[in-house]
Amino acid sequence: MTDKELILLIDADDDDQQFFQMAVSDLPVPIKFLSFKDCSSAIAYLSSQSDRLPGYIFIDPDFPRIDWEECLGHLKILQGFGNPRIAAYSSRIPLHWQAELEHQGINKLIEKTGTISTLARQIESLLKQDRAYL
């Protein structure tokens, strides 16, 4: 079952995780938030929580150990069970990545911004698109 009020972030940078959490906290309705430093940890957690999958997964495609294509492959398997929306969240999303990320099943591309309020608006916009957040 997908929990549309649960957002999961996969990002190796502690500061970026904190920044994202502050943006989620600024949303006008309560959202549950989990973060993981790498894809392996997130996949292990999600595999053990198949009854409560997040509605949204944000990943920084530039993380260590597992490359983003392999991570997306694992996340696509999870999509079959709960259909979470997957967004790329990175400080740089080169043009040559954009088409490939979309082809691999990324639903949204969000560049890391300098302000919490801008990021909160981008997250809120994605949630509103699904009407899961009104």
- CATH number (domain holding residue 30): 3.40.50.2300
In a domain, 134, yes or no: no
Q: Which domain holds residue 51?
A: 2-129
Q: What is the pTM of this model?
A: 0.86
pLDDT of residue 11: 92
| Residue 42 near residue 56, CB atoms below 8 Å | no
Dig out the tokens for 17 from the structure: 């995780």
In a domain, 25, yes or no: yes
pLDDT of residue 118: 93
- Work out the pLDDT band at 84, boundaries 50, 70, 90: confident
Average pLDDT on 109-118 reads: 87
